[in-house]
C-alpha cells in the first residue's frame, strides 16, 4: 500500500511540475523551461530511489515505473501545450537565428526524439542512483 502511495505522489508531483511549466510559458526562458520539464522530474525519481522508500517492495521492478509515469505526465503536458497559442509564442520568443548559428525549439513536444530523450534520461537517473546506492551499501558507508 505504501509503494502505491509513493507512486501516486510521484505522478501527482510530475503533473504539478508540468502544469507549472505550462502556465509560465509566456515568461519563461528556454533554460528555465528545460530545467522544469527535463531535470526536475528526473531528479524527483532519483530522490525517491535514493531515499529507499521503494527498497523493501516485493517486486523490485516497480521502481522502474517512475520513469514511465514521468513519460505519461510529459505526454499529457505535450498534448495540452503543443496546440496552444502560448507554445507558439514560446517557440518564437526562444528561437534565434544569425549568420553564424541558430537555436530552434521543436514545435512538436511529442516527436519521437523528445519522447526517447525523456524516457532515457529518467531511466538513466533511476539506474545511476540505484547503482550508487548499491555501491555505498556494499562498501558499508
Q: What is the mean pLDDT of each run of 10 residues along the chain (141 residues)?
A: 79 92 82 91 90 68 84 93 87 84 85 93 92 83 59
Residues 49, 126: contact at Cβ < 8 Å?
yes
Q: 21 Cβ partners below 8 Å, 6+ apart?
A: 28, 33, 36, 37, 77
| pLDDT for residue 78 | 93
Find the Cα–Cα–Cα–Cα dihedral 92, 98, 101, 102, rounded to 10°. Answer: 10
| pLDDT for residue 28 | 78
| pLDDT for residue 74 | 95
Q: All 3 cell numbers of residue 70?
A: 514521468
Range of the domain at 120: 1-140
Q: 11 Cβ partners below 8 Å, 6+ apart?
A: 69, 72, 73
| pLDDT for residue 141 | 59
| pLDDT for residue 70 | 94
Total domains, the chain: 1
Amino acid at each position: 500500500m505504501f509503494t502505491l502511495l509513493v507512486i501516486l505522489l510521484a505522478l501527482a508531483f510530475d503533473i504539478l511540475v508540468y502544469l507549472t511549466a505550462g502556465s509560465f510559458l509566456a515568461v519563461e526562458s528556454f533554460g528555465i523551461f528545460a530545467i522544469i520539464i527535463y531535470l526536475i522530474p528526473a531528479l524527483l525519481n532519483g530522490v525517491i530511489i535514493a531515499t529507499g522508500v521503494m527498497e523493501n517492495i516485493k517486486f523490485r521492478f516497480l521502481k522502474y515505473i517512475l520513469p514511465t509515469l514521468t513519460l505519461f505526465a510529459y505526454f499529457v503536458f505535450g498534448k495540452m501545450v503543443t496546440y496552444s497559442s502560448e507554445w507558439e509564442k514560446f517557440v518564437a520568443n526562444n528561437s534565434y537565428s544569425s549568420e553564424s548559428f541558430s537555436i530552434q525549439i521543436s514545435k512538436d513536444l511529442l516527436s519521437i526524439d523528445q519522447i526517447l530523450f525523456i524516457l532515457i534520461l529518467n531511466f538513466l537517473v533511476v539506474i545511476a542512483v540505484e547503482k550508487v546506492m548499491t555501491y555505498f551499501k556494499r562498501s558499508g558507508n
